[in-house]
Amino acid sequence: MSILKRFIFAGSVLFLSLWVLNSKPFNLGLDLKGGVSVVLEAQESEDRPLTNDDMLGVIDVIRGRINALGLTEPVIQRKGINQVIVELPGISDIDRALALIGETAQLTFHEAEWAPQNIDRLTDEERTLLLGDGVDIAYLKQQLSNQETVLRPLILKKKVIQGSQLSEAFAGADSYGRPVVNIKFNSEATDIFYQVTKRSVGRPIAILLDGVPISAPNVNEAIMGGTAVISGSFTTQEVRDLVIKLKAGSLPVPVEILSNRLIGPTLGLDSIQNGKYAGLIGFSLVLLYMILFFRYFGLMAVFALLYYLILTLSILKMMDATLTLPGIAGLILTVGMAVDANIIIFARVKEEIKNGESVSAAVKEGFSKALVAIVDSNVTTLFAAMVLFWLGTGSIKGFALTLSIGVLVSMFSSLFVTKLFVQTSLRFINLPKWVLMGGIAND
C-alpha cells in the first residue's frame, strides 16, 4: 500500500472517530456519574417456600429487563438468602427504575362483564345475590372525553390465559396514533383465545397486570391467529416499559423493595477532578519525555499517541461501553504500552544506525525486527484481559474491555500510524540524525 493510500485510510479513520466522539456523551459508571441503588427482598408464601432456583430466576428476570433498557455495567448481586442489590448507572428517574425491576409483571386475561355502576353501594349479601359467590370485582381506570378519569367496575370471571403463554410483545400504535402493545400467543393459547372470544362476543376481555386491570376491550367477533392489542391511557414510555417486562418474563416470586436511593459518584466530585488533573499531568510528562529523548521521531510518536487515544475512545463510544474508574485505569495502562512499543521500535532503529545503515533503511529494519517483541507482549496481555472479562463482573469487566481495545489499537497505532508518520517525514524532510533521533543516536 502506497504512503498516499495509507494516509487516506488513516485520515478517514480519524475523521470517523472524531465524528463519533462529537455525536454523543460517554456512558459513565456509578463511580463517576452515580445512579439508582435498590435493595429487593423476595417474598415467600405459606404454600410455597422460597428456593435457590427462585432467587436465580429473580436475578435472571431483572437482568433481562435491565439489558433491554440498553444499560451497560449494571450491578446485580445477591445479598444473603433472599435479597438482591441492583445498582443502575446514569439513571435519575427512580420511580421508573422501581416499576421496571420491582413489579412482578404477571399478565392475565379474564372473561369478564361490566358491573353496574352502583355495585359499591350494595351490601355483601346483595352483591352475592346479584353476582353469586366467589366473583371478583376489579376497577378499570378510564379517561372520558373531557379528560376526567373514572373507575369502571368489572366482574372478573374465569382466568383463561396468562403472560407465560405469550410468544411476542412489541410496541405499536392504534389507528389514532395512540401507543399500544401488540402481543402474540403461543399455539396452545391461540386456540384458547379463539374459543374465549367466540363465546364472549359483545362482552369485554379483561387484561390485568399484577392484578390491576389495564385494558378491557369489547369482543366484536371471534379472533383467530392468536394476536391481540393491549390499549389504554398509556404513554410511549409506559408502553416501552411494559414490552420490556413482558419480554423478560414475570418474576417467579413477588419481591418487596426494602430501600431505594439516588447515589452520587462514589469517588466524590473532588476525587474525579483530581483524577482528571493527574491524568493530564501524567500524559503531558509522557509526551515531554518522548520529545526530549527522541526529538523528531518522538514528536511523530506523540502524534500517533494522540491518534491512538481518539480512536480508542471512539470505539468505546460505538460499543456503548460504560466508562468507570477501573476502565480508565485500563486505558491509561495501554497508553503506557503504546509508548513502550515506540521505545522498542526506536531502540531497534538505533542499533541499525550503529551498524552503519542509512536512517531510511534503519527505520524499515527497526519496525520489522521490533514487530515480534511488540506482538508477543500485547498478545499475552490480551489473554489476561480475556480471562478477566470471562471471570470478572461489573467494573472488572469494564477494565478488561478497555484494556483489550486499548491493546489492539495501540498495536495499530505503533506499527501502522507511527511508521506512516516517520516514513513520510523522512521522504519530505531532510534532517540530521541528531535531530531525528536525539539521545539514542548519540550513544
Burial of 213 (0-12, 13-18, 19+ CB in 10 A): buried
**436 Cβ partners below 8 Å, 6+ apart?**
295, 296, 297, 359, 426
| Chain CA centroid to CA 170, Å | 20
Q: Which residues of the chain have pLDDT under 70?
A: 1, 69-73, 92, 134, 144-146, 248, 264-272, 275, 393-395, 428-443
> Tell me, what DSSP letter sits at residue 59?
H
Nearest-angstrom CA–CA distance, 434 and 296: 9
Taking only the tens place, the pLDDT of each residue in 233-247 is 778 888 888 888 777
Nearest-angstrom CA–CA distance, 358 and 411: 26
Nearest-angstrom CA–CA distance, 373 and 187: 60
Q: State the pLDDT at residue 441.
A: 41
Q: State the pLDDT at residue 300.
A: 79
**295 Cβ partners below 8 Å, 6+ apart?**
434, 435, 436, 437, 438, 439
Contact 171, 245 (CB under 8 A): no
Element (H, E) at 218: none
CATH code assigned to 107-243: 3.30.1360.200
CATH code assigned to 35-102: 3.30.70.3400
Contact 229, 174 (CB under 8 A): yes
Element (H, E) at 322: strand 322-323
Q: State the pLDDT at residue 442.
A: 45
- What's the angle, vertex CA 410, arms to CA 409 and CA 415, rounded to 5? 105
User: Which residue reads 482528571 in cell numbers?
Assistant: 276
Q: State the pLDDT at residue 231.
A: 79
First to last CA, the chain: 34
Contact 105, 162 (CB under 8 A): no
Work out whether strand 322-323 and strand 27-28 pair parallel, antiparallel, or are unpaired: parallel
Nearest-angstrom CA–CA distance, 246 and 228: 14
Domain 3-26+267-441 indexed as CATH 3.40.47.10: no
Q: State the pLDDT at residue 351.
A: 78
Grid cell in block for residue 158? 374465569
Order of all β-strands in the sheet with 227-230? 166-173, 179-185, 227-230
List the chain domain ranges.
3-26+267-441, 35-102, 107-243
Nearest-angstrom CA–CA distance, 88 and 96: 12
